[in-house]
Structures are given as C-alpha cells and as structure tokens.
Amino acid sequence: MSRPTAADPTVTSPLAIVGSGVIGALSALTAAQLGLKVLWFGPAEVDRTDGADARNYALSPATVGLLKRLGVWSALEANSCTVTRMEVFSGASRVDLTASDSGVEFLSAMVTHRNLLDVLEQALKFRAPVTRVPVRPNYLEALPDRVRLGVDGKTFDAQLVLGADGARSWVRGQAGILWGQRDYSQNAIVAAFHTEFPHGGVAAQWFDRGDILALLPLADPQQVSMVWSSSRVDLLAPDLNATIADQIADRTAMRFGRLRLVGSLTSSPLRMLLTDELTAPRIALLGDAAHTVHPLAGYGLNLGIQDLLCLENIWKEYRSDPGNGSALAAYRRQRLRRIKTVQWSLDLLQRWVVQPHPTLQRLSQLGMRVVANTGLLRQLLIRQAIGPS
Ligand SMILES: Cc1cc2nc3c(=O)[nH]c(=O)nc-3n(C[C@H](O)[C@H](O)[C@H](O)COP(=O)(O)OP(=O)(O)OC[C@H]3O[C@@H](n4cnc5c(N)ncnc54)[C@H](O)[C@@H]3O)c2cc1C
C-alpha cells in the first residue's frame, strides 16, 4: 500500500463505493437517486472466477420494489421469471407454498447475475452524480472528517466509504474489522438444464440425505437453474458433466421430466461469514463484505439489498454528511441483529437438514407434514421465503 504524495490533487465526494458487483452498482444507483455525488471504484466484471457469473438470483418482492423505484426493472422483466409456487420435498413429505395462499403476486423473481449487472451498469452510465473509477483502490486512510482513498498516486476523499467488495473485502481488511467464518464443508454446484416439461413458474427444492437440491425456473419456460449443496458430489469425477442431468432427473423423480445440461457446471465452497462490526469510523460494510449465508433460501443478495434499503433511509436524514458517527451508529443498530437472526436461522436449518440421525430425520418429516396441513404455518413460511418488505 503506497501512500499518495501530499501534492496529489484530491477529488472530494460525500460517498465512495468500493466494489463493482451487484451490491456496489445498486448502492451507486440508490445514492445517485438521492442526489448524492458518488465515486464508484472497481473494474468492470469480465469473467468471475468464483462461479457468480453462472448464478441466478431469486429476488424477493422487496428487492423487485427497489429495482422498480430505480427505474431498471422494465429492462430486466422480459428476461426474468416470476415464481408463483414452491414445492418442498423431504423424504415422502411435500409442502406446497403458493403466492396466492399468502395474498402476494409472486414469491420471487428469477434473474441472471449477468443480466442484472449489465442493466445496472447501463443505467449508471446516465446518472450524472456517479463517477466511475474502474480500478481497485490501493490505499485507505481514515481521517476524522473523511476517508482518503488512493489509486495510482491519485487521491479521492469521501465522507463515507462503502465496502461492497464481496466476501474477501479489501475495505474490511483496511478498516481492521474482525470477522470469522463457519465452513459448511459443502459445495454449491450450479448448472442450468433444459427440461422436458415446461416449469410453469414452479421452484422445487429437495431436502434429501444431507443434500439440498433446488431447481429454479428461468425466463425460458423450459430451462431451470440448479443449486445443489452437497458434501458428497465428487467434483473431480471425469464423467460428472455427462451424467449429472440423468442423476438430477432421477433424484427429483422426473419432476420436470428428462433434463439436458446447458453450458457447464460451476462449484463454490459454502461458508457463513460473520462479523460483529458493520462499521468503522466513516466506513460501512454491506452485502457479502458484511455477511454471507448458506444459499438454501436464496437469501444472500436479498440480505445485502436490505442493508442498502436501511442505508437509503439513513442517508435521507444525514444527506449533508452520510458518514457521520450518528448515521453509522443507526446503521449498526438497525442491521446487526437482523443480519445475525437471518444467518443463524439459516444455519440452524442447514444443520437440521444435514444431520444424519434417523430419529431426527423422522421428526423433520413429521414437521413437514404438520406444515403441509396448517395454512397458518405455510403463510409464515411464505413470508420468510419472500423476505420482509
Ligand atoms: C451458489 C449460490 C447461489 C446463490 N443464489 C442466490 C439467490 O438465489 N438469491 C440471493 O439473494 N442470493 C444468492 N446467493 C448469494 C449472492 O450470490 C451474494 O450474496 C451476492 O452475489 C453478493 O453480492 P456482492 O455485490 O455483495 O458481492 P460480490 O458479488 O462478491 O461482488 C463484489 C464485487 O467487488 C469487486 N471487488 C472485489 N475487491 C475489490 C476491490 N478491492 N476494489 C473494487 N472492487 C472489488 C469484485 O470483483 C466483485 O465485482 C447465492 C450464492 C451462492 C454461492
């Protein structure tokens, strides 16, 4: 980390965002809509090595609401798919969750990572108060009334720096924010399949022998996206690409008929990243820089967007200095407990599913049957599935 020289001209802005992924781009758009001048740091994503390019997000209605307010949903809608029913299977038990059961229009909307980021980047080109600095900063210094970022000898000052730079956050490291992680000893294998039968907007999930397998509908009525969390798939098996479609069709009792792999498989190790501090002086973390969760509920990005919605409200009140101590304290107070609750709830569910004890497995199937027969519990689950509004 090289300290810029004092003679360097400094660009000043209320807000600097580090991170060129979905949360960074959305933060820039949200701040710009409030009229805040933004410096947005990070190179354009070309080829992600962590498999995110192959990901499809199940966006909650609250997230879709934000995209509508930002004026970008109309560009995404044609390539999205609304999920109107979820089928959850465990052993011989099955629970159906429908949007109409809970009086909502849809449970979630599926979009691809690439499409979402392209639309956000396109929209940002026309937002005047956003200046893109298409490189990673290499210097950060917190001063009492601002943070100084440095890139190649140039300096940039901001009242608030947002760390939206993902699970390996550079900002988090520079700010000295401690973190820990729980390794799930599982990989998420992501793939897309062409299906024999149209999916009809149905998302299906199987809790099975410690694995969690989800098939999620895509914009093409005969394509689904798979997220298979498992510790037992032999990723190095030479014939995995050739056999996976039949394996999954078999494990899902041909729910969508015969399957054909589209493209290739990607795999990422699953970890829950935790921190007790979301902020440091004039610095705030959000998105995966602040927390990661098991993908069993498709919650990760939605959780980051809830961080942003909280910040958006705070910025309305602290427009003249979004990085001041009271603004950051409000963010910590409003988000920390909520994030921990989601993280530990999903963690508990994951432990419940992977535990091998036969009595507990029988109990879990009994629980599924109770849920299947109780409208009120089903509605509660739907509200959890679609996230808070
Ligand atoms: C298998 C799987 C399936 C998932 N499915 C869902 C789902 O259905 N729904 C859902 O809500 N969530 C889902 N998630 C979670 C979701 O992918 C993440 O929560 C989300 O991508 C986090 O976005 P982010 O922008 O915070 O971080 P990232 O996507 O990691 O983006 C960080 C960005 O910052 C850039 N960057 C890194 N370092 C720097 C630096 N020093 N300077 C500037 N830029 C930098 C990176 O290049 C990257 O572009 C899933 C996760 C997994 C593993």
In what helix (H) or strand (E) does residue 59 lie, and over which residues does it extend? strand 56-59
From the list 169, 174, 139, 170, the residue with the least C-alpha distance to 156 is: 139
Residue identifier of the C-alpha nearest atom 6 of ligand 1:
298
d(CA 21, CA 348): 29
Q: Do residues 122 and 75 lie in contact, with contact meaning Cβ atoms separated by under 8 Å?
A: yes
Which residues does a 6 A CB cutoff place in the pocket of ligand 1? 18-24, 41-42, 45, 52, 55, 57-58, 136, 164-167, 170, 188, 190, 227, 268, 287-288, 295, 298-302, 304
Structure tokens at 357: 């004890």
Structure tokens at 146: 């601002």
pLDDT score recorded for residue 104: 83
Length of the chain: 389
pLDDT score recorded for residue 106: 92
Centre of ligand 1 from the C-alpha of residue 379, in Å: 29
Pocket test for ligand 1, best of 301, 302, 342, 384 (most atoms within 8 A of CB): 301
> What 3-state DSSP class applies to 267?
strand
Centre of ligand 1 from the C-alpha of residue 21, in Å: 6
Task: List, in sequence order, every residue forming a beta bridge with 214; answer none if it has no partner.
Answer: 205, 227
pLDDT score recorded for residue 279: 98
d(CA 349, CA 185): 15
- Residues 6 or more apart whose CB falls under 8 angstroms from that of 102 comprise 378, 379, 382, 383, 386
Centre of ligand 1 from the C-alpha of residue 5, in Å: 33
d(CA 318, CA 316): 6
Structure tokens at 293: 């969760």
State which amino acid sits at residue 218.
L
d(CA 29, CA 303): 18
Residue identifier of the C-alpha nearest atom 5 of ligand 1:
298
Task: Name the pTM for this structure.
Answer: 0.92
d(CA 239, CA 236): 9
Pocket test for ligand 1, best of 1, 17, 18, 20 (most atoms within 8 A of CB): 20
DSSP string, 235-266: TT-TTHHHHHHHHHHHHTTTTT-SEEEEEEEE
Give 9: exposed, middle or buried? Use CB within 10 Å, 0-12, 13-18, 19+. Answer: exposed
- Looking from the CA of residue 303, the nearest atom of ligand 1 is 11
d(CA 189, CA 19): 25
Q: Do residues 28 and 166 lie in contact, with contact meaning Cβ atoms separated by under 8 Å?
A: no
Centre of ligand 1 from the C-alpha of residue 170, in Å: 14
Digits of tens for pLDDT over the chain (389 positions)?
556 655 555 778 899 999 999 999 999 999 999 999 999 999 988 766 666 777 899 999 999 999 999 999 999 999 999 999 999 898 778 888 888 877 888 999 999 999 999 999 999 998 879 999 999 999 999 998 999 999 988 999 999 999 999 999 999 999 999 999 999 999 999 999 999 999 999 999 998 878 899 999 999 999 999 999 998 777 667 788 889 999 999 999 999 999 999 998 888 899 999 999 999 999 999 999 999 999 988 889 999 999 999 999 999 999 999 999 999 999 999 999 999 999 998 898 888 777 666 666 666 666 666 656 666 555 656 665 555 44
Q: Do residues 175 and 166 lie in contact, with contact meaning Cβ atoms separated by under 8 Å?
A: no
In 84-242, which ranges are E strands?
Answer: 85-90, 93-98, 108-112, 130-133, 139-143, 146-151, 154-163, 180-195, 202-208, 211-217, 223-230
Centre of ligand 1 from the C-alpha of residue 201, in Å: 25
pLDDT score recorded for residue 371: 58
- Looking from the CA of residue 270, the nearest atom of ligand 1 is 53
pLDDT score recorded for residue 51: 64
Pocket test for ligand 1, best of 165, 233, 278, 286 (most atoms within 8 A of CB): 165
- Residues 6 or more apart whose CB falls under 8 angstroms from that of 214 comprise 203, 204, 205, 206, 226, 227, 228, 296, 298
Pocket test for ligand 1, best of 57, 116, 265, 272 (most atoms within 8 A of CB): 57
pLDDT score recorded for residue 389: 42
Centre of ligand 1 from the C-alpha of residue 115, in Å: 14
Q: What share of the chain is helix, strand, coil (3-state, %, to 5)?
A: 35, 30, 30
Centre of ligand 1 from the C-alpha of residue 196, in Å: 31
Q: Do residues 136 and 148 lie in contact, with contact meaning Cβ atoms separated by under 8 Å?
A: no
**10-48+113-182+273-352, what's its fold?**
FAD/NAD(P)-binding domain (3.50.50)
